[in-house]
Amino acid sequence: MLNTAVDSINLSVFNHWLSVGPVELWEKGNSYNLEEIQAKIKSRPEIEITSLNYQGLLFRFNIKGALNGPFYGIKTPCCNKVGDEWIIDYKKTNYWIKLMLGL
């Protein structure tokens, strides 16, 4: 694991991934653009701020199964809890994406 590059990155509310639906932030072949990623998150207010649970970035690997080994993902929180709501932390989001993309 972690011997291959990230294929895609999406974001949603932990344990509500299917009911809320993720927002696709980046996929292999695209350049990294922080403003574009922030705009995608802001376009989904039910993900940007939520009382359901914390938001997590999902880094997905071997999506097409073209490599030896499993399809897998690594999820990490990227928010802060303020009162009863979880709010995206854009600085934390940027940190994790750049780290996982090797930028």
> Whole-number mean pLDDT of the chain?
92
Residues 35-59 pLDDT 10s: 999 999 999 999 999 999 999 999 9
Higher pLDDT, 72 or 103: 103
Cβ within 8 Å of residue 1, ≥6 positions away: 61, 69, 72
Quote the pLDDT of residue 70. 72
Q: Which comes out higher in pLDDT, residue 17 or 31?
A: 31
User: What's the predicted TM-score (pTM) here?
Assistant: 0.90
Q: How far is CA 17 from CA 11, 13, 84, 94, 103, in A?
A: 8, 6, 19, 21, 27
